Structure 1
Amino acid sequence: MIRVISKNALALGLAAAICVAVLGLVNQQTAPRINEQRLAAKLAVLAEVLPEVGASQALLDDCLQVTDEQLLGRSTPQTLYRWRNQGVLSAYIIETTAPDGYSGNIDLIVAMTTDGTVLGSRVLEHKETPGLGDKVETRRSEWIYSFSGKVVTADNAAKWAVRKDGGDFDQFTGATITPRAVVNAVRNAVLYVQQHPQLATLPANCMDQ
């Protein structure tokens, strides 16, 4: 009996070793392709919010890891990209989070000029209710485009709210919490950049993270 158990254990161990080796080989072969797909997806999103200039490897390289739980919605670092047109800083693109969505965090990316004008914004990930809160997605509605061209200033804070709260932005029928959270997150992302002018000159550090 002991001999049979030993043989079975040896067979299982050999099978496990083979599986680990095969998985390692598959991962080694597919990792470059997965990284390429991730890079392409990131560039595609960046190009959507900064359509005038598109996105490039230069944009990915000129970036910072920044943290501000109050304005950017997370206690962990978010990425901020800097676009320079012929060496002159022209725009920022920043990842941010609305922590107060109906079903949890709503992750976004927001592009803006250096004077605080929103160029574009997109929702990257959310868990909002299908048919209601998911209208923040471009495939469900054009609502997210309503931020483009809007400016955040010290004097127009009241306008950066949904109409139910006296602001300029539509809420969704049957759903106010989701659009309210996104409006606040977009405004706060612009405020973060405006309140940190040193972002223009800090050395890029995101590649070190």
Structure 2
Amino acid sequence: MKKLESSLKNMLLVLTGVTVLSVALLAYVNKLTQEPIAEANAKILNEALKKVLPEFTNNPVAESDTLFSEKDGKKSVDFIIYQAKKGDKQVGAAVEAKSMGFGGEMIVLVGFDVAGVIYNYALLSHVETPGLGSKADKWFGAYDPIKGEKAVAHKEDTKSILGMNPGETPLKVNKDGGQVDAITASTITSRSFLNAVNAAYKAYKSDKKEEGGEVNTVTGASIKVELTDSVSAK
């Protein structure tokens, strides 16, 4: 077998061949894993919806509203609102909201009843410090309905946000004059988490008609709901 001459042309040909093969392999692997990943994410979301909402009989994912914002001609998803019904009656909604924590973006799913009271929440994803900011998944009162705990905040529990209504008083950590204890040594994470909850509430209310509290089907509507983020040392 004749040995390829060591030249720039031959090296480029080999490099191109390797690149094409690598891209093809990556595309194949991505195709194989895409469906299982989507199924896993759907399962996580469905389990979270059961956790954060009062009992419902509809399919909240199928009846969801996506709220967009637009900047420089580019649209981005700000919130996804999952409507919950029992029969024909609205029982609440869950809002998927994002905020920047200490380590990066966190995604919170907050469940509200029809009065705007927080029923429960789930931390869908985060990159917070293990053992510190990562405690947000339970610190603020999240509970497991399978075990039968009630979604009601006790008056003596200054960490839990369950049973609170951000429409009456926006949630803040006590360091900022608010009513919620921050996670120990994780003030930034706590602020960011509560910012996401407050924004989720605003998105929930903006997705409802003022008269009668009926659901306003504005799927894909462009709406601005700002996240405030006052940051101090962790």
Question: TM-score w.r.t. structure 2 length?
Answer: 0.65
2:65 equivalent in structure 1 = 64
1:129 equivalent in structure 2 = 129
1:50 equivalent in structure 2 = 53
1:202 equivalent in structure 2 = 217
Q: 1:126 to 1:87 in 2, by over 3 A?
A: same
- What code does the residue aligned with 2:205 have? Q
How far has the Cα of 1:116 moved from its partner?
Answer: 0.4
2:162 equivalent in structure 1 = 148
Q: 1:106 to 1:2 in 2, by over 3 A?
A: same
Total equivalences in the alignment: 192
Q: Sequence identity of aligned pairs in percent?
A: 25
Q: Whose helix proportion is higher, 1 or 2?
A: 1
Q: 1:38 to 1:104 in 2, by over 3 A?
A: closer
Stretch of structure 1 that moved more, 176-185 or 7-16: 7-16
Q: Structure 2: where are the runs of 5+ without partners?
A: 143-159, 222-234
Distance in 1 (alpha carbons) for counterparts of 2:56 and 2:191: 30
Q: 178, 183, 187: which is aligned to 2:198?
A: 187
Distance in 2 (alpha carbons) for counterparts of 1:24 and 1:173: 44
Deviation by residue 1:67-116 (Cα, 9 ceiling, x = unmatched): 369xxxx96432111112112222111111233x3344332111111210
How far has the Cα of 1:186 moved from its partner?
Answer: 1.1
Stretch of structure 1 that moved more, 194-203 or 108-117: 194-203
1:85 equivalent in structure 2 = 86
Q: Structure 1: where are the runs of 5+ without partners?
A: none
Distance in 1 (alpha carbons) for counterparts of 2:76 and 2:20: 40
Paired residue secondary structure (1:82):
strand
Deviation by residue 1:126-182 (Cα, 9 ceiling, x = unmatched): 3333332222123xxx4342222222334x34xx22223333211223332221222
**Is structure 2 residue 42 aligned with structure 1 residue 39?**
yes
RMSD: 3.4
- What code does the residue aligned with 1:202 have? T
Deviation by residue 1:13-38 (Cα, 9 ceiling, x = unmatched): 66665555555444444433232222
Stretch of structure 1 that moved more, 175-184 or 87-96: 175-184
Distance in 1 (alpha carbons) for counterparts of 2:28 and 2:188: 47
**Is structure 2 residue 160 aligned with structure 1 residue 163?**
no
- What code does the residue aligned with 1:149 have? G
Stretch of structure 1 that moved more, 28-37 or 87-96: 28-37
Paired residue secondary structure (1:67):
strand
